Structure 1
Amino acid sequence: MTADRRTVLRSTVRLAALAAAGSLLTACGTGNLRRADPGALAAHPGTVDPQHTTDPAWSGGEGPASATPADPAEAGPDGEPTAAAQPSTPPAPPVLPPLAPGTPVEVAYGPRTGRNVALTFHGSGDPKLATALLEVAEQRGARLTVMVVGSWLDQQPQMARRILDGGHELGNHTQNHLNISAMTPEQARAEIAQCAERLQKLTGSIGRWFRPSAAQYATPMVREQAKAVGYEHVLSFDVDPRDYNDPSAAELQRRVLNSARGGSVVALHMGHQCTVDALPAILDGLAKAGLKPVTASQLCA
């Protein structure tokens, strides 16, 4: 494939992603959540570990991804894309519930008067561990939100449909999981847009939520770039049990259950055995406390 044809193909995918984002935003309302809960954060100091904010490979031992994605189209003998490389019609996008009126641009937690919680996961790492984690959740009727890294989808494209087919939700966690807060606006937008293109191609939608990489909250610059790509809402969190440090399953269970309450958004990670091991007890403990794990969109509906 020539350089000009590759440019046209990528531009087409990008335009499709932005068009889908526009139609999604017209269907989404806003909700009555506050931006952050200083009390909750103060009660749990150290919610963002240095490793969590600086190491791009902390999500499961995989090395840093290349900032230049490979061209998915392969040329045939005559220089034209092969039949397998031709872009297929995107699947129908998942149906999401409208958000409640007044939902802020950045959501750190949902209504405290409710009994729902959102278990959100950094989408990367060993696909076998990710699949095992999804199966545990599905066996107990829990719905998760996976903030996926685009470079992981390049390596494991089947995981996008696997996650959605289990009744879970997908969001954008940048293409390469680098320190987005330290980037230029152009670099930050590219990181967000590249992951959005992967999601659009694989699922028919860029997803509703964006979460910044290597940061708990998005800077004004990052929020602006996310909105330019098509994300009206940033999904933060108020509970970080630091499973990326690989504590024991019992310790991870304790951290989650001691901190989670109605409306909490919990930040967890695929690709860690401790998280898979702890999840059954976490779900059982939440149930005993009268808390129901739902997707981020259901939390904010």
Structure 2
Amino acid sequence: MNSIDRRSALRAGVGAAAAGALATGCTDDRPAPAPPTAPAPPSRGPRPAPAPAPRRYPGQPAEITHGPRDRDRVALTFHGQGDPAIAEAVLAEAERAGARITVLVVGDWLDQHPGLARRILDGGHDLGNHTQRHLGISSMSQTDAYAEITDCAERLRRLTGSIGSWFRPSRTQYATPLVAELAQRAGYPHVLSYDVDSLDFTSPGAAAVAGNVSRQIQRGSVVSLHFGYADTVAALPGLLDDLDRRRLRAVTTTELLT
């Protein structure tokens, strides 16, 4: 399938349905022997494994902008908010190409779409924290900034069993010293920045998004992209094809640094 066909296919929506089970019981007024052992509840399958927790990477700075330059790997990182159908399309296209991505989610987006946390993890991707409300964290008081980090962390913990693999500050490429300190206090040894900005949030068109990345990317790069923008979805097939031609493998940030 060529890139045009793939882009057309990505416009199609996907849906899912869930069903539950109802257990009922009855009582009997007649005397009876000791009650039998209660039957085991219906199996609901194995519980999902907790999401990976943050880890420390010796030799890496507190704020990571890129990975090793001597390996043919890059990390595509996505700020997680916006239309969930676009998020699903990005995930589907990445998985079609055998790519793994890193998604830094906004907490109030998870409040609206909690199922996407497990969807991201089940696809083999990294899941991290991009603050609770996606406000300008650099200009906040210490109390408010810490709440932005920990509120999102608590939602991730409730949904996945972990505060997520990474923290990225909102509305800034680099963390202030205070924000980096607060992130460490919240349990994130490293702040995740990037060295390639796609500028997809400016909606410049799919060709411009792909071109912005192509001109800057190199071994070890961490690329900033976003859910929620149609240009990003349209650019992704060509971008992944370009990485393949360059023999650059798109991996999670955890894999990039391991």
Cα shift at 1:207: 1.2
* Corresponding residue number in structure 2 for 1:237: 194
Q: Which of the numbers 278, 283, 300 marks the counterpart of 2:235?
A: 278
Deviations 1:233-257 (A, max 9, x none): 1000000010001111112111111
Q: Distance in 2 between matches of 1:230 and 1:91?
A: 22
Partner-residue secondary structure (3-state), 1:121 = strand
Rg: which structure is higher?
2
8 A contact 1:97–1:297 mirrored in 2 = no
Shift of 1:293: 0.4
Does residue 82 of structure 2 align to residue 133 of structure 1? Answer: no
2:208 to 237, 251, 254: 251
- The residue identity in structure 1 corresponding to 2:69 is R
Query: Paired residue for 1:153, among 97, 104, 110?
Result: 110
Give 2:64's aligned residue: 107
Secondary structure at the counterpart of residue 196 of structure 2: coil
Name which of 58, 79, 88 aligns with 1:122. Answer: 79
Aligned to 1:200: 157
Task: Note closer, same or farther for the CA distance 1:96–1:191 as it changes in structure 2 (3 Å cut).
Answer: closer
Report if the CA contact (8 A) 1:91-1:204 is conserved. no
Query: 8 Å contact 2:214–2:239 — kept in the other structure?
Result: yes
Q: Which residue does the alignment assign to 1:213?
A: 170
Between the aligned partners of 2:177 and 2:57, the Cα distance in structure 1 is 23
Structure 1: distance between partners of 2:192 and 2:256: 11
Does the C-alpha gap of structure 1 residues 201 and 230 become closer, same or farther in structure 2, counting only changes over 3 Å? same
Counterpart of 1:175 in structure 2 is: 132
The structural deviation recorded for 1:94 is 2.8
1:288 equivalent to 2:229? Answer no
- Structure ranking higher in helix proportion: 1
Alignment RMSD (CA, Å): 1.5
* Alpha-carbon displacement from aligned partner over 1:198-239 (angstroms, at most 9, x marks no partner): 000011100121101011010110011111111111000000
Residues 99 and 297, structure 1, Cα contact 8 Å, conserved in 2: no
Q: 1:95 to 1:210 in 2, by over 3 A?
A: closer
Counterparts in 2 of 1:98 and 1:176: CA distance versus 1, 3 Å? closer
C-alpha distance in structure 1 between counterparts of 2:67 and 2:226, whole Å: 20
CA–CA separation in structure 1 for the residues paired with 2:101 and 2:250: 7
How far, CA to CA, are the matches of 2:207 and 2:155 in structure 1?
Answer: 36
Aligned to 1:222: 179
Conserved in 2, the CA contact under 8 Å of 1:110 and 1:299?
yes
The code of the aligned residue for 1:186 comes to T
Q: Percent identity?
A: 57
How far is 1:101 from its partner?
Answer: 2.9
Match of 1:299 in 2: 256
Q: Is the 8 A contact 1:99 1:300 kept in 2?
A: no
Count of residue correspondences: 212
Aligned 1:27-106 pairs, distance under 5 A: 91-95=48-52, 100-106=57-63
Q: Could you give the per-residue CA deviations for residues 69-115 of structure 1, whole angstroms, max 9, x where no partner exists?
A: xxxxxxxxxxxxxxxxxxxxx95313479665312211000011111
Counterpart Cα distance in 1 of 2:222 and 2:204: 20
Letter in 1 for 2:96: Q
Q: 1:231 to 1:98 in 2, by over 3 A?
A: closer
- Structure 1 residues 289, 247: CA separation in 2 closer, same or farther (over 3 Å shift)? same
- Structure 1-normalised TM-score? 0.68
Gaps of 5+ in 2: 1-46
Contact 1:216 1:237 in 2 (8 A): yes
Runs of 4+ in 1 over 4 A off after TM superposition: 95-100
